[in-house]
Structure 1
């Protein structure tokens, strides 16, 4: 089924300056910006001219002229008698080079990575795990479901957050990414539609693409999720699977409120869809925000699956994550993962068991450290690059920055020449959009972030750097 956006929906998304003249050109530019920012996904049918004209209160001729301009520049594809769909022009028309690539050992400041150094509690947890480790020597050394003590600890944490959970509902994985990969492998197949946000976590997109799934992006707006757009995407695509990040969204930082979570769970029931919820950042509030229940709290029939991780709260080197689902689904996933690695490493699981006992201490530690780094990064950007726009999130680990031109990829090349690795917006999109955005993490110390912004400002002034030695491609470690 074709996806489409109605006249009132598109009118609400448009940001048209008051008194803009000529109006048709301002309208075309506003639609183009929505497409490039990923807020209006590619291959979505736009409303007929008369419907958008009625919604905007302008003449049909004005909208027709704007659509003609968008078609001329490659942002609309039209078929006689069938309608018009959003599109992207040839990359050369955007003035973009190939995506920035870099090696993993080049010594550049890693502003492409939203991952903190280890918690100060790690040495104590390591020592406790060393003490406990020999007791497991009498067994076979691995459990496809995870160490019972860790499954119980994760289940108890969900209970404390408002979602009663049994240990049988927890599968321990080798990081959240393995959990996402397992779920995509089990629940998505070639050609199956999978609803995702735009922007979103790049490695989840990779996992869906590996299965040959068809990605159905829904633009994430400046003010958060528009539930009618998510509802429409589920209905129009007939998707049976969605991957969403409602908790301090990566990379945007939004936090979905309880009303939105209830509406999302209701939409999943209405369209018989399963929602995979990435909670990697859920424990990382910086400011005082109203508490929200996990999305699973609104689930009545086992269609919300939660994925968690030790990486963002404690340390990425632990490579421990988990899936919360029905006990039956957990058993199916455990059988599936046996073709991959059989079980997560025992020692790291024991470390996380100890860290779980002190989760609130770690949250307080991260709140202080991330808060100082976030504020330092925001202040440095406002001083050095005042034309760039961003909203300071109440939690998470990054700023989603809107540039003054769609140059994120060439700017990343220029920054690399000055010692900084960046994560340009297209890494987080589906269709090559988001060139007007960068994700800048605040998981590094304040001084490192100030240094990075100084280099970034120099790169911005100097302009895009083209050519240069080829590097091995990598994707961001997020």
Structure 2
């Protein structure tokens, strides 16, 4: 048994769970969603029935019935004398289509592979004799790849040499390496809220405390709240997505960046910039470079720009910090595969060809989803982001979790708003990626249109104030 969640903690995580009858099934659905989203990890001990009943103001028999429903659906197991623990939730097939082939997976916000990728892999494979004579993996990164990454930063106006680059096994691996180096139990990390949930998980795994600073679709970053958070919490690390933020799609202005830099400098905070979506502009050229100062740590990858299956990422930082990461890395892994590095090196030099194709692909997907949502569910607030991979859609009732569970029963996998929260909330939001094929996204929206009246008790075609229906991200 790896961990335990108390009755108060589970009650707080459940939020507004009373969304259907009977009550025990509403409670069971709330716990199911926490398990599916990994907000309650597998092998976590749940509170005793009596304790949870007291915390939620329910009868013990109601909680017992909820736990029985969870056992029947394979989400928990109960042992006499040991209580109930959550079970791993594993998808039965990979890719967007799962189970019997009739479902659509929109939890993963990654576009299909760039069409030229297979050809590049074939070219590298033809030259495999030059690779197989070497160990096959590298803990720092090949000189050619680090030089290619450094050259792209230099071209952006951030002078960089290869010694300032560490190659990793994707962006998530880079996040883990950086957070492990900068945080320890008792320290504090500042995150945008909503934010990328796997970054929150990586930070919490260090034992650090987390605190949030708001970012919204319409208004962007709340700079006053952010400055207060830096002064109050004096975080060791602040994790930010300044370009096409996940999930809101917002991009910082130069004034935003200057405000965060000044606040971080005053608090002694290291700014960690996640740039994995930074080059996914749709409607215009790449956003302007932002000045976060020489001490910012930058994380990038090819997962969104080329293919999620190409596990190559990197960290750009000062030489001393890169040496620190290299020294600590063997505790987690022994390096990045040389074959993938050789592929990545060629791809980085092809970005002027790759990025326009990604913009066209993502733009087409975005427009399909926006049109489908606005026509099918006109009471929802549907933004039009200028880049990135998803919409942060505002619902007309705080029922995101219930909607996700209802859609799942119809074969559509989505992530509820609270999945992206640092400190609770967002039941009135739903992240909708626009990275799947257009026909699948139309089908998914049709499912949402069918189940929303059942979940909310409101017709899908309810009229809405036109000023609230359109929210464009600037």
TM-score by length of 1: 0.75
Could you give the per-residue CA deviations for residues 59-106 of structure 1, whole angstroms, max 9, x where no partner exists?
xxxxxxxxxxxxxxx9xxxxxxxxxxxx96973675462252364223
Equivalent position of 1:98 in the other structure: 31
Between Structure 1 and Structure 2, how many residues are aligned? 376
Q: Secondary structure, in 3 states, of the residue corresponding to 1:386?
A: coil
The 3-state SS of whatever aligns with 1:270 is helix
Q: Does 1:436 align with 2:456?
A: no
The answer for the alignment partner of 1:157 in structure 2 is: 152
Q: How large is the Cα RMSD of the aligned pairs?
A: 2.0
Structure 2 vs 1, CA of residues 290 and 345 (structure 1 numbering), >3 Å: closer, same or farther? closer
The answer for the alignment partner of 1:172 in structure 2 is 167
Which residue in the other structure is 1:238 paired with?
234
- 1:129-173 Cα deviation digits (max 9, x unpaired): 113332133433332111111111111111111111101100000
1:341 alignment partner, one of 328, 333, 338: 333
Pairing 1:325-474 to 2, within 5 Å after superposition: 325-463=317-455
Distance of 1:290 and 1:345 partners within structure 2: 30
Give how far 1:207 is off: 0.5
SS in 2 for 1:317: coil
Contact 1:244 1:277 in 2 (8 A): yes
Distance 1:215 1:99, change over 3 A: farther
Q: Give deviations 1:42-66, integer Å, cap 9, x for gaps.
A: xxxxxxxxxxxxxxxxxxxxxxxxx
- The TM-score with structure 2 as length reference comes to 0.76
The equivalent of 2:254 in structure 1 is 258
Distance 1:178 1:290, change over 3 A: closer
Partner of 1:322: 314
For the structure 1 residues 139 and 93, does the alpha-carbon distance in structure 2 shift closer, same or farther, using more than 3 Å as the test? closer
* Structure 2: runs of 5+ lacking an equivalent: 1-7, 20-25, 37-88, 93-98, 458-474
Post-superposition shift, 1:259? 2.1
Conserved 8 A contact 1:121-1:355: no
- 2:195 paired residue among 190, 200, 220: 200
Asked if the contact 2:191–2:422 (Cα under 8 Å) also holds between the matched residues in 1, the reply is no
Displacement after TM superposition at 1:263 (Å): 2.2
- Residue 310 of structure 1: CA displacement? 0.6
Contact residue 116 and residue 443 of structure 1 kept, 8 A: yes
* Cα pair 2:279 2:286 within 8 Å, conserved: no
Q: For residue 282 of structure 1, what is the aligned residue in structure 2?
A: 278
1:335, distance to aligned residue in structure 2 (A): 1.6
**Following superposition of structure 1 onto structure 2, how do residues 84-233 of structure 1 map, counting pairs within 5 Å?**
91=15, 95=19, 97-100=30-33, 101=36, 103-105=90-92, 106=99, 107=101, 108-221=103-216, 222-233=218-229
Check the 8 A contact 1:150/1:353 in 2, yes or no. Answer: yes
Sort the Cα spacing of 1:89 and 1:280 in 2 relative to 1 into closer, same or farther, 3 A: closer
CA distance in 2, matches of 1:416, 1:359: 37
Task: Output the CA distance in 2 between the equivalents of 1:289 and 1:402.
Answer: 27
